[in-house]
Each structure stands twice: as C-alpha cells, then as structure tokens.
Amino acid sequence: MIGLGAPLASTTCSRADCRNAGSWRLDWRNPRIHSTDRVKTWLACDDHVDYLREFLSARDFPLTVRPLEPESLDPAEDEQ
C-alpha cells in the first residue's frame, strides 16, 4: 500500500517493454554531463544484459557490469 513501510527498489529489467526480473547490474555514467561521483544504475535480465552493455559501450560511457545482489541496491543512489 502507498505510504506504508519503506519503498522497495524495483528489480525489473531496464530494457524498454521488458518486465523480467533483473539479474545484472550495469553502473554507468555519461562523462560529458556527469562528474565522476555521479553513477547511474540500470538492471538487466539475462536476455538483455548484452544489449544494454553494447548500448552503453557504443557511447563510450564508463561501465561496470556485475551480477545483481539485492542487498547492494540503494534506492537513494540508483536510477533506472
């Protein structure tokens, strides 16, 4: 219910129209507009991790890909 308890971090894949659970974490930033301390996070399911990695890599964005560990999600710093 809205307003009850702490908000849950979504673990849905960040690929458009995908509703699968994310199992990979892609931490990236756009160096043209973000300082080194500003990192965005996308989540990917097994079907889309390569697609999202290639999408970000093609733009030369600094990128780290690692398996998703739910306890590592901090809703205050992660964006999808």
pTM: 0.74
pLDDT tens digit sequence for 37-61 = 999 999 999 999 999 999 999 999 9
pLDDT tens digit sequence for 15-38 = 999 999 999 999 999 999 989 999
Four-residue CA torsion sign, 4, 12, 23, 65: negative
Rama region for 5: left / alpha / beta (φ>0; ψ in -120 to 50; rest): left
51: enclosing H helix or E strand:
helix 49-57
Task: Output Rg (C-alpha) for the chain, integer angstroms.
Answer: 13
